Amino acid sequence: MARLIRVPHLASLLVVTCAREIDDLIAHPSLARAFARKGPLLNRLLVAGLDRQFRHHGDVLPAFRPKEDPSRVAAQRQLFARLDALSERGVWPSAPVTEMGRYVATGADRRNAEAALAYAVAWPFIGSASASTEDDAYKPLGRHLWRLHRRTALAREPASPRGLALRLAGLDRRARATILDHVGGDLYGLHAVEITLANARTILEAMREAMSGIPEGAPATGASLAWAAIRTAPERVVRQTGATSLTLPGVDGRIPPHTLVLLQMRRSLGPDLASGYEFASRHWSACPARRFVMGLFTAVAEAALALKSAEVAP
């Protein structure tokens, strides 16, 4: 059951952790992604933080625009086609994939693996998608992208003193501008480095944990690194109710105006849920990177299993 946290004049938050209820609410027509700085004090403070994350130079990023926004629809469709085409080719940047596979298999060189991951996630947007990367030339850019990602992630933490310092100094905005320079001004490329990369790191660490649980000398199997075993979802997805109170599925009573709805997707993701839930695949807000992300980590798993097999071969 969803939990309504309401303190008059201070907060009105609806926390949803049940996968079925999240699936009902994530595309509910009464819940918006266009956040208004209205409602109780805490809500307005949280919306201010979301606004900083979801906007660039005053414009809402394409991934966070409303369902009916024609520019969002067109951009989403184009990105689906672009990333699906890369996935169908099945050609990935070879050196970064090998580096990540080595980390998954051995646990060595985590920082190199993070640089490889940052490069691979940004790869479709940095002008190198037409060729596989055969050497370590990607590493300086990968390391730089990783540092920029960490800076913007820290700046989004509302309770972090360092995050506050970054925001006050405008360093998060400068980091964003630098990321955009690297991805050719593509706002979806910015989203990939800021948001997708955070989820991708969780997946990479899940792969490493799964591999480390295999006894020394025992053969590794593909099942340990299958998508169902290593997938993740966004930590939370946020929506907001409108200017009037309303009722919602799975919630007792009426929801106050301008309530923030926190859909705890990562917490709700269980092994019994069908593949695609983590990408909101059944809904209009579906992530266009679904096939790309799954294909990339399939390649990493293959590299890791090959290295592990070579270690245990007689």
DSSP 83-144: HHHHHHHT---HHHHHHHHHHHHH---HHHHHHHHHHHHHGGGTT-TTS---SGGGHHHHHH
Q: What pLDDT, in 10s, does the model give residues 175-228?
A: 999 999 999 999 999 999 999 999 999 999 999 999 988 776 666 677 889 999
Residue 166: the pLDDT is 86
Residue 8 has φ and ψ, to the nearest 5°, of -50, 130
Mean pLDDT, rounded, for 87-112: 94
Report the Cα–Cα distance between both ends of the chain, in Å, rounded. 54
Q: What is the pTM of this model?
A: 0.91
| Confidence bin at 312 (pLDDT 50/70/90) | low
Q: What pLDDT, in 10s, does the model give residues 281-306?
A: 999 999 999 999 999 999 999 999 99
Q: What pLDDT, in 10s, does the model give residues 131-186?
A: 445 678 899 999 999 999 999 988 888 778 888 898 889 888 999 999 999 999 99
Q: What pLDDT, in 10s, does the model give residues 228-271?
A: 999 999 999 999 999 999 999 888 889 999 999 999 999 999 98
Does 310 have pLDDT greater than 90? no
Q: Residue 151 is encoded by which pair of tokens?
A: 């800076």
Q: What pLDDT, in 10s, does the model give residues 25-76?
A: 999 999 988 888 999 999 998 888 888 788 888 888 888 888 889 999 999 9
Residue 311: the pLDDT is 66
Mean pLDDT, rounded, for 12-30: 94
Rounded alpha-carbon distances, angstroms, from residue 6 to 193, 236, 241: 35, 19, 14
Rounded alpha-carbon distances, angstroms, from residue 18 to 1, 131, 203, 241, 266: 7, 42, 22, 19, 11
Mean pLDDT of the chain: 90
Neighbouring C-alpha atoms within 13 Å toward the C-beta of 226: 8
